Amino acid sequence: MYKKKSLFITFEGIEGSGKSFQSKKLYNNLKLKNISSLLTREPGGTGSAEKIRNVILDDYFHPKLKEKFNKYTDTLLYLASRNEHVINKIKPAILMKKIVICDRFIDSTMAYQVYGKNVNKNFIDHIHKHILKGLKPDITFLLRVNVSKALFRLKKRKKKNRYDKFSKSFYTKVQNAFIKISRKNKRRYIVLDNTNDSNDIEKIILKKILLKLKK
C-alpha cells in the first residue's frame, strides 16, 4: 500500500536526453497504480505560462534578425513563467498531496542561463527567493546522454524550437553543468545514463518513486 503524500519530482537533462519521454512514462505508470499524480513542464504548465513559453521558444536569436533579446530579458521570461506555474499549478497540487512530475525546473535555469550563458547567479537566486518561497524538488532525475546520440535524436524531431538547434559544444557545456549541480545536491539527485534506448531506465525510475511512497 502506498501512502498518499505529496512528492515533487523533476526531470533534467539536455535536449535529446529523453527526460520528457521518461517523465511521461513515470506519470502513466503511476496512473496505472491509481496513484494521484500531475504531469507538467517548464517553461509552461499553465495557460499564461504557456503563452510566455511561446515567446521564449520562438527563434528570436536567428542571425538575420536585427533586434534580439538580451540574455537577462530571456531569463526574466523564464522566471515569469515559473512564477505563474508555481502559484497556479505546482503549489496547489502539492497541497492536495499529489505527485507532481515536472519536465525541467530550477536546475535547467542554472545549467542553461548561469553556466551556459553567464547570467549572474545572484540575480536568479534573488528572484527565486520571492517566487519559490522555499519550494524545491524532493527528487531530481538527471538523464545523462552521449551528446552525439542526443544530436541524432534531435535530427529526427519533426518540430524543432531554438533550444533544439544549439551546437554540440554548448550541449556538452550544459550537460557538464547539470553534472556539477547534481554533485552539489546528492541527496535529491539520481543520475542515470540514458544513452541506450532501454526499458531499464523506466523501471529504475518507477522503483525509486514507489520506494519513496512506501516510507
User: Residue 96: is its pLDDT beyond 80?
Assistant: yes
pLDDT band (50, 70, 90) for residue 13: very high
Q: Which domain holds residue 101?
A: 7-214
Q: How many domains are there within the chain?
A: 1
CA distance 150 to 169: 12
Q: Has residue 106 been placed in a domain?
A: yes
Give the CATH number of the domain where residue 166 resides: 3.40.50.300
Whole-number percent of the chain with pLDDT over 90 = 81
Which residue, among 190, 210, 215, has the nearest Cα to 12 in the 3D structure? 190
pLDDT of residue 78: 96
On average, the pLDDT of the chain sits at 92
> Looking at the domain assignment, is residue 174 inside a domain?
yes
Residue 1 lies in a domain: no
User: In 3D, which of 194, 204, 180 has the Cα closest to residue 15?
Assistant: 194
Is residue 62 a part of any domain in this protein? yes
Q: By the 8 A CB rule, do 49 and 81 touch?
A: yes
d(CA 68, CA 77): 14
Whether 50 has a pLDDT exceeding 90, the answer reads yes
Q: In what order do the strands lie in the sheet with 7-12?
A: 37-41, 99-103, 7-12, 139-144, 189-193
pTM of whole model > 0.95? no
* Residue 2 belongs to some domain of the structure: no
- Is residue 169 included in any domain, yes or no? yes
The pLDDT value given to residue 140: 98
Residue 107 lies in a domain: yes
Tens of pLDDT, residue by residue over 158-212, are 777 777 778 899 999 999 999 999 999 999 999 999 999 889 999 999 999 999 9
The more confidently predicted of residues 35 and 157 is: 35
61 has a pLDDT exceeding 60: no
User: Is residue 147 in a domain?
Assistant: yes
